[in-house]
Structure 1
Amino acid sequence: MTNNNNMSRRDFLKIASIGGAGVVVGSTGLGTSLLAINHFGKDNKHTKHKVNFYGKYQSGIISDVQKHVYFVVLELHSTEVNEVKEMFKQWTAHSIKLMNGDLIAPLTNNTMLPTIDTGEAKGLDAARLTLTYGVSPTFFDKLKITEKRPKDLKDLPHFPKDQLDDKFTGGDIVIQACSDDPQVNFHAIRNLIRASSGIVTMKWAQTGFNSFEEKDGKVQTPRNLFSFKDGTGNPKAHEQDALDQYIFSNSGWEKNGSYLVVRKIQMHLETWDRTALEDQEATFGRHRDSGAPLGKKNEFDTVNIEEKDKEGNYVIPEDSHVHLAKKAKTKMLRRSFSYTNGVNEQTGAFDAGLIFVSYQKSPEQFTRIQNMLGRIDRMNEYITHRGSGVFLVFPGIKEGGYIGETLFNSI
């Protein structure tokens, strides 16, 4: 009896895949209708804990940082521009629903079919979900549209102390899902990839987390696993001049897009934990408790790398992380998250670190800072760069438009 039931289900699915009952079951995802692709929906202003999908910039760049991230890099297996364009349209329709706190489709009444939405976010709110999409240099190669690749979008050079693992390097497409609920993030990524089965596969993924202290009613800068504040020097969302100068492109089809650099950084916690507090602070160039530059009291006090003490020594050491980064004379927006993956089987130590994510107007800004850090940054004793990637994050989406529209319209 069981075998006969199973056979009938398989037969039904075969019929459905041919076009029965108006259902499409194929390489582009289970149960996706053309109506869903062509009607993108609207931001629901009444959704609890909602971040808008539409806007001048994509969400997840200058949006308030959330507590959790699901960062995934995908490999593209299609060489057809139109097929990939339809995938981004489909992702647009799904993203709006996900960021509205909705399922991508209601539960089907036909129990002989898989559900379109996997369902694990049922009953959860939007949790400030943001979804951010970008593409790498190889994306343009695979689609044979290299003439549309901006000149700034090229692979990062090899940096001193890099020990990159191919498993966590490269890739064609990036999706960054951030929210205050890790299950909301996972649900979003799971359903987006499921909807594009056969066109993309996962190359690597990493979850991460942040926690925030609240002081005087304000959320404070998050701390990394070395206990130091991470992101103090970021341009603020209201500082439009700084955003225009350092973060967002202002020309071409990529106008209002940004370049994302990701680095998977292993942190050697056991070595760090044996280091005296004085040396820890000299490594960063900041006080651990307050986040203030050495010699100052408050986190946001001006960093003066030329200041010296009575003995003529730099107050912020020349080989400290802050001193060297400041000498590069550029800025970027850091949106990093800590991660823990259990135990390193080879060493028995914590497998933990930082998913370093930065946004900048050009990858050259990151390269300039990283080259300045070079081999003399004190931080190098405590970290190892294991993964790397550079992506152009598409401009924001106008209502009625779709992710990557300015690129595809230019082809």
Structure 2
Amino acid sequence: MMDSTPEEEKNDAREERPEKESESISRREMLKLTAIAGTGVVLGMSGMATLMSLKHADPGPGSGMSATKPQEGASDAIPFYGSQQAGIATPQQPYVCFAAFDILHQDAGELLKLLQEWSAASALMTAGKPLSEGGNVTAPPADTGETKGLSPSNLTLTFGFGPTLFRSDGKDRFGLASEQPAELSDIPPMPGDQFNPQWCGGDIGVQACADDPGVAFHAIRNLAKASKGTAAIRWVQNGYIGAPDGQTPRNLFGFKDGTANRELDSDAARSQHVWVSSSDAPAWMANGTYLVARKIRMFLEPWDRATLAEQEITFGRLKESGAPFGKKNEFAPAPLSQFPASSHVWLARSAGTKMLRRAYNYVEGIDGGTGEWDAGLFFISFQRSVKQQFIPMLSLLAKLDALNKFTSHVSSAVFACPPGAGEGGFVGETLFRSGNR
């Protein structure tokens, strides 16, 4: 490298000076930043350092810089937009955070706006992007921020509309009552139900599933934050599953749960049993489905005292392999005669219906009244018809299932999940278009 002459060094210094001056904070900018802290506040050296860091942390609009860079091309991102909502036929993620919301007003325009905002936020979060970049330091951040730096974790957000969104106490709340599907009504009472009304129903249900429980919670938390004053959470349920890739997960009784889902692996089977057809009414539900959620308390202590033989006869399959009696493979075809009569599996198959299960285990500590585990199964199923598929099966199980002495249903909810949204659209758009609203 060649040495510089004194004249060249002077020129270099003059060229560097504007850059250094641009890095310093001006008197006018200092006054603006001081106003953030409040009039009359005296800043010490630590306070001055904080304001200086604020000056450089947020380049401001038009700078071409971002304090939080969105993730691009993440390999574990599932698109939010599509003809059908994600989180239904999507391979089941290990964690769920499910929330039911109640709408706090009766303004159809505000409801539409909320669905638009939720859909836009969902598209960002499922892509692993923050809800905003930079931001005004004098206002709360749009994104709560706890997932910054994390991958999208295969997050999916699935929305459904409850019966009370259409009618509540006989009232047409949003002018949507004429569009309520005949399938969308509360499940009739069943023997053994022990419901807490606060844990049932809801105007809108949102299922957040992800490979990371924090990512699923973050999604629900931020939707709730964005809806402040418009919607309030009625109930929330977290859950998890644990199974090697491609294998059927096990419930807290130790049995494989969801073996029959393989029968719905094909598009043809799902079209028949899961997705609402364009020939079904109402038309706005085409490519949608119906979601049933049931929280089932499992009495683990008495179950753990039962012999292996009693457990297998009660559930209806071999515990180790998940196979039918007399078989070695979980998926081996077997006639009903291969299953113990009145067993859980025998009754479920006797109903002759199929549905897509997406159940999760839950553990909520110890029941203060009994000292026993407060744990069980958060059952979720998707079906084309609640009345023709789910209710017939549940009716048989509620009356005759040998498993009933080890379980109790403590909550229930039903939601109509509309089709997916097109790019830039919103979930529920077909509903609002159906009445030219």
Q: TM-score range by the shorter chain?
A: 0.7 to 0.9
Counterpart position of 1:286? 317
Measured after TM superposition, the shift of residue 374 of structure 1 is 2.7
Higher CA-based Rg = 2
Q: Is 2:183 aligned against 1:159?
A: no
Match of 1:409 in 2: 433
Determine if the alignment matches structure 1 residue 64 to structure 2 residue 87.
no
Question: Could you tell me whether the CA contact under 8 Å between 2:36 and 2:138 is conserved in 1?
Answer: no
Q: Is 1:357 the counterpart of 2:384 in the alignment?
A: no
Note the C-alpha offset of 1:112.
Answer: 1.8
Match of 2:12 in 1: none
The alignment status of 1:392 with 2:419, answered yes or no, reads no
Per-residue deviation, 1:295:
1.8
> Counterpart of 1:226?
253
Structure 1 distance, partners of 2:344, 2:334, is 12
Q: What 5-or-longer segments of structure 1 have no aligned partner? A: 9-42, 308-314
2:25 counterpart residue number: none
Instruction: Provide the rounded CA distance (Å) in 2 between the counterparts of 1:237 and 1:360.
Output: 11
1:404 Cα deviation (Å)?
Answer: 0.6
Name the amino acid aligned to 2:398. G
Counterpart position of 1:53: 80
Q: CA deviation at 1:361?
A: 0.4
* Cα distance per residue 1:277-296 (max 9 Å; x no partner): 11111111111111111221
1:81-230 aligned within 5 A: 81-108=108-135, 110-141=136-167, 142-214=173-245, 219-230=246-257
Letter in 2 for 1:248: W
In structure 2, the partner of 1:321 is 344
State the alpha-carbon separation in 2 of the partners of residues 146 and 295 from structure 1: 52
Distance 1:50 1:344, change over 3 A: same
Whole-Å separation in 1 of the counterparts to 2:214 and 2:71: 21
Contact in 2 for aligned 1:49/1:126 (Cα 8 Å): yes
Q: Secondary structure at the match of 1:234?
A: helix
Is 1:248 aligned to 2:271, yes or no? no
Alpha-carbon separation, structure 1, partners of 2:424 and 2:145: 26
Task: Report the equivalent of 1:37.
Answer: none
- TM-aligned CA deviation for residue 132 of structure 1: 0.2
| TM norm structure 1 | 0.85
Matching of residue 275 in structure 1 with residue 306 in structure 2: yes
Give 3-state SS (helix, strand or coil) of 2:284's partner. coil
**Alignment correspondent of 1:338:** 361
Q: Does 1:369 align with 2:396?
A: no
Q: CA deviation at 1:234?
A: 1.1
- Secondary structure in 1 matching 2:326: coil
Q: Deviations over 1:10-43 (max 9, x none)?
A: xxxxxxxxxxxxxxxxxxxxxxxxxxxxxxxxx9
Q: Deviations over 1:353-403 (max 9, x none)?
A: 110000000111110101111322011011000000000011122223211
Map 1:286-305 → 2, pairs under 5 A: 286-305=317-336
Shift, 1:241, TM fit: 1.8
Shift of 1:7: 6.2
Any unmatched runs of 5+ in structure 2? 1-34, 40-69, 168-172
- Per-residue deviation, 1:225: 0.6
Cα distance in structure 2, aligned partners of 1:396 and 1:303: 37
Alignment size in residue pairs:
362
Aligned to 2:11: none
Q: Partner amino acid for 1:356? A: F
Whole-angstrom distance in 1 between the partners of 2:309 and 2:427: 48
Q: What is the percentage of aligned positions where both structures have the same residue?
A: 43
Alpha-carbon RMSD = 1.8
Partners of 1:52 and 1:363 lie apart in 2 by: 27
Find the residue that maps to 1:374 and give its secondary structure.
Answer: helix
Q: Matches of 1:276 and 1:45 in 2, distance apart? A: 53
